[in-house]
Amino acid sequence: MYGPGQNWADDNSNLASGEQNCAGGNIPGSGALPPECTDGSFGNLFPLSGTFTYGPLYIAAAFEQHKGVNRVSDTIGFPTTAPEDTQGDPNDVANANAWKIAAQYTFSTKTTIGGSYEKFKRNVPAYLEYQNERQRSGT
């Protein structure tokens, strides 16, 4: 599947086409620091998933990429690339990728076990990792 972006700015800083609300909230500043309106806005979306079933075994895998996720407002007021830069760091517009794999098995007794593992990563420079709370691995 492909989801075309609804944000016409190169850095995904505009409101999405047809929307009157900011990404991450309803008014400027509610999901991003004023005067921005960008918290989590992104461009194109590329998801892919598949499943496999063989008798009692079920396996699923998925991948998704959000292009140019804009989190510039997270760095407004904080010096980043230069001490005089307090308007947000332009390097905080980066791709976010997530993948997941899961498996389930049903025994003849109808007892079912399953589990999953996922990893989410945002591709920002190392000096911006401090504000990257959404990056994680999970089970």
The predicted model scores a pTM of 0.73
Cα-based torsion angle of the residue sequence 118, 37, 126, 117 in order, rounded to the nearest 10 degrees: 0
For residues 31 and 16, the answer to whether their CB atoms sit within 8 Å is: no
The pLDDT tens digits of the residues spanning 88-120 come to 677 888 899 999 999 999 999 999 999 999 999
| Domain boundaries along the sequence of the chain | 45-138
User: Does position 134 have pLDDT exceeding 80, yes or no?
Assistant: no
DSSP string, 28-61: TTSSSSTT---TTB-S-EEEEEEEEEETTEEEEE
* pLDDT tens, residue by residue, 13-41: 777 776 766 665 555 545 555 556 666 77
CA distances from 21 to 6, 56, 59, 66 (A): 13, 46, 38, 20
Alpha-carbon separation of residue 73 from 1, 50, 126 (angstroms): 30, 35, 18
3 state DSSP class of 78: coil
